[in-house]
Amino acid sequence: MRIVNVETFPLMYPLQQPYGDANGYKTFRSSFLFKITTHSGITGWGECVDWLPTLTRGFEDKIIPYLIGKQATNRFQLVQQIKKWHQRSAAGVSLALTEIVAKFSGVSITDLWGGSWRSSLPVYASMQSYTDQFEWIGHSIKHIERELHSGFTQIKVKVGGRTFKEDLMHIQQIQGLFKEGCNLIVDANESYDFATAREWERSFSNWNNLLWFEEPIPMNLAADYKLLRSCLTVPIAGGENLKSAADFLQLIQNRAIDMIQPDVMHEDGIDGYRHTLQLSRYCGLRVSPHTFDGALARLYALFAHACLPPWSKMKDQNIEPVEWDVMENPFTTITQIEPIDGQVSIPTGVGIGVEIDEKIIKRYLWDGLIN
């Protein structure tokens, strides 16, 4: 199980039409995939997110020379060492090493982790609502209509990047579009002050289909979150950029939040990520994976979520939905998994149970030019 090779695949896709959230527009989507091979020929895929030149240089100069010759089964120690250099690379390496152990054992990732509670999971369509067009609301509404038509019943949209009035107009139009059984998530990406976040309550109290209000104010304001939670009638969620279960524990102990949102690629490895999921269950909170930056990491979020016990005894509502990027992004299909009517089947084959689409890798391989 000695590691003999690590191949890297930085991928880049410039967007035809930039889209964004309260923090600005994205002009490209990227992915950094890599394949670790052991001396017996077993391979495992990893994925991480960061600026491509940083990742490429870090892997070439430091991480690959370190990994070559090491035992792939020694995951905790290898990941801990790489984390000292670059946390997000460590998270990616933890995925590849997990797949190698699963393949060596001849089992799926979920079986390796103790077995899946469910064969499929609900996913919500995650949108970046803003474009630089004057008619951004009309553009967003058309996109939401397409996603509803394709079977999604849970949609996340952005607020906080336009005036309160304009954002409210957008949300009211969405509410007009929704049929019975459709649910909405509103994400402010930490953009509001306390008073503006609280102002939403006047509208929230009229709607019964809001799943949660995501990151209304900066996540470091735990005391304000606690206060806001007592003012609002919708659950408050957040934490996509937190790095460990210990970070989430602060929010949980302060009773500042209703739902936590860890991200596989932002935490210190898939094992640390799973600790955070379990922490939510120990503490009686809901958890919905944040997973917008890569399809392989999203697949691991699905595996981990499938292994999570129910949060409620109600059969049709006992697992939280997982984020599903529906924006223009060719890398979302790299694992060749698609939702049907807002549900994704969990692969059951050995390892990750799917083939990585190498055609996409060949087509979008980054040319090394920094833009």
Residue 157 vs 279, nearer CB to Mg ion: 157
Pick from 154, 148, 170, 142: nearest CA to 21: 170
Residue 94 vs 288, nearer CB to Mg ion: 288
Q: Which of 158, 170, 243, 305 is catalytic?
A: 158
Task: Identify residue 149 by its one-letter amino acid code.
Answer: H
Q: From the CB of 298, what's the least distance to Mg ion, in Å?
A: 14
What's the CA gap between 262 and 243, in Å, rounded?
Answer: 8
Residue 38 vs 129, nearer CB to Mg ion: 129
**Residue 86 annotated to the active site:** no
Q: Which of 86, 156, 290, 305 is catalytic?
A: 290
Which residue's Cβ has the minimum distance to Mg ion?
Answer: 187
The 3-class SS string of 67-135 reads: HCCCECCCHHHHHHHHHHHCHHHHHHHHHHHHHHHHHHHCCEHHHHCCCCCCCEEEEEEECCCECCCCC
Identify whether the C-beta of residue 34 lies closer than 8 Å to the C-beta of residue 59: yes
**Residue 290 annotated to the active site:** yes
Q: From the CB of 274, what's the least distance to Mg ion, in Å?
A: 21
What's the CA gap between 14 and 212, in Å, rounded?
Answer: 31
Q: From the CB of 160, what's the least distance to Mg ion, in Å?
A: 10
Residue 187 vs 293, nearer CB to Mg ion: 187
Pick from 352, 329, 353: nearest CA to 11: 329
In the chain, what are the helix, strand and coil shares in percent, each to the nearest 5?
40, 20, 40
Q: From the CB of 104, what's the least distance to Mg ion, in Å?
A: 36
Residues within the interface to Mg ion (CB under 5 A):
187, 214
Residue 33 vs 157, nearer CB to Mg ion: 157
Active site members: 158, 290
